[in-house]
Amino acid sequence: MIPPSLLSKVAAAPDDPGCYLWKDAEARVIYVGKAKHLRRRIASYVQRLDEHPPRTLRMIQEAVDLEWLITGSEVEALLTESLLIKELQPRFNVLLKDGKDYPLLAVTREEFPRVFITRDKNLAGADLLGPFPSAGELQRAYHFLQRAFRFRTCELDIHEADKGRRNFAACLNWHIKRCSAPCTTRIDAAAYGDDIRALRAFVTGRAAKGPLLGQLNERMRASAKELRFEDAARIRDQIAALERLKERGRLSDYREPAAPVIDIGAGVKALQEHLGLAGPARVIEGFDIAHLHGHHVVASLVQFVGGVPNKDGYRRFRVKGAMEQARNDDFASMREVVGRRYRRLRDEGQPFPDLVLIDGGLGQLNAALAALEAEGVVLPAIVGLAKAEETIVRPGGATLRLPRRDAGLRLLQYVRDEAHRFCRRYYHLLQRQALDAPREGGS
* CATH code of residue 314: 3.30.420.340
Q: What 3-state class would DSSP assign to 190?
A: helix
Number of domains in the chain: 3
Which among 63, 73, 67 has a CA at the least distance from the CA of 37? 73
- Asked if residue 117 and residue 12 are part of one domain, the reply reads no
The predicted structure's pLDDT at residue 422 = 85
- Asked if residue 399 and residue 354 are part of one domain, the reply reads yes
- Asked if residue 195 and residue 167 are part of one domain, the reply reads yes
- Asked if residue 203 and residue 273 are part of one domain, the reply reads no
Domain that holds residue 205: 104-253
- Asked if residue 294 and residue 183 are part of one domain, the reply reads no
Q: What's at 146, amino acid-wise?
A: Q
Radius of gyration from C-alpha coordinates of the chain: 25
Q: Which of 253, 285, 318 is the last residue of a domain?
A: 253
Distances (CA, A) of 16 to 40, 77, 146, 212: 10, 10, 25, 21
Identify the CATH number of the domain in which residue 21 sits.
3.40.1440.10
Which among 160, 158, 174 has a CA at the least distance from the CA of 114? 158
- 306 falls within a domain: yes
- Asked if residue 270 and residue 237 are part of one domain, the reply reads no
- Asked whether the beta carbons of 411 and 264 are under 8 A apart, the reply is yes
- 80 falls within a domain: no
The predicted structure's pLDDT at residue 326 = 42
- Asked if residue 287 and residue 227 are part of one domain, the reply reads no
Strand partners, 382: 356
- Asked whether the beta carbons of 160 and 168 are under 8 A apart, the reply is no
- Asked if residue 274 and residue 323 are part of one domain, the reply reads yes
- Asked if residue 383 and residue 237 are part of one domain, the reply reads no
- Asked whether the beta carbons of 245 and 144 are under 8 A apart, the reply is yes
- Asked if residue 281 and residue 388 are part of one domain, the reply reads yes
- 177 falls within a domain: yes
Instruction: Give the pLDDT confidence of 47-70 residue by residue, as tens digits.
Output: 888 888 888 889 998 999 999 999
Mean pLDDT of the chain: 85
- 268 falls within a domain: yes
Q: Which of 253, 280, 314 is the last residue of a domain?
A: 253
Q: Which long-range contacts (CB under 8 A, 24 or more apart) does 241-244 make?
A: 241/144, 241/147, 241/148, 242/148, 242/202, 242/209, 242/212, 242/213, 242/216, 243/213
The predicted structure's pLDDT at residue 322 = 46
- 99 falls within a domain: no
The predicted structure's pLDDT at residue 441 = 44
Collect all residues with Cβ–Cβ distance below 8 Å to 391 and sequence separation of at least 6.
361, 385, 399, 400, 401
Model pTM?
0.68
- 86 falls within a domain: no
The predicted structure's pLDDT at residue 436 = 55
The predicted structure's pLDDT at residue 297 = 78
Q: What 3-state class would DSSP assign to 153?
A: coil
Q: What secondary structure letter does DSSP report for 299?
A: E
Q: Which of 199, 228, 253 is the last residue of a domain?
A: 253
- Asked if residue 236 and residue 207 are part of one domain, the reply reads yes
- 274 falls within a domain: yes
The predicted structure's pLDDT at residue 95 = 65
Q: What secondary structure letter does DSSP report for 23?
A: E
391-393 and 355-359 beta bridge pairing: unpaired
- 94 falls within a domain: no
- Asked if residue 359 and residue 420 are part of one domain, the reply reads yes
The predicted structure's pLDDT at residue 295 = 61
| 162/174 Cα distance (integer angstroms) | 19
The pair phi, psi for residue 118, each rounded to 5°, is: -145, 160
For each of the chain's 443 residues, which pLDDT tens digit applies? 678 888 888 999 999 999 999 999 999 999 999 999 999 999 999 888 888 888 888 999 899 999 999 988 898 899 999 888 888 889 888 766 655 678 999 999 999 999 999 999 889 999 998 888 888 889 889 988 998 999 999 999 999 999 999 889 888 788 778 899 999 999 999 999 999 999 998 888 754 556 888 889 999 999 999 888 888 988 998 888 888 777 666 777 777 655 556 677 888 899 999 999 998 898 999 999 886 655 667 888 999 988 888 887 888 888 876 444 444 467 888 999 999 999 999 998 889 999 999 998 999 999 999 999 999 999 999 999 988 789 999 999 899 999 988 999 999 999 998 998 888 876 666 655 555 555 444 43
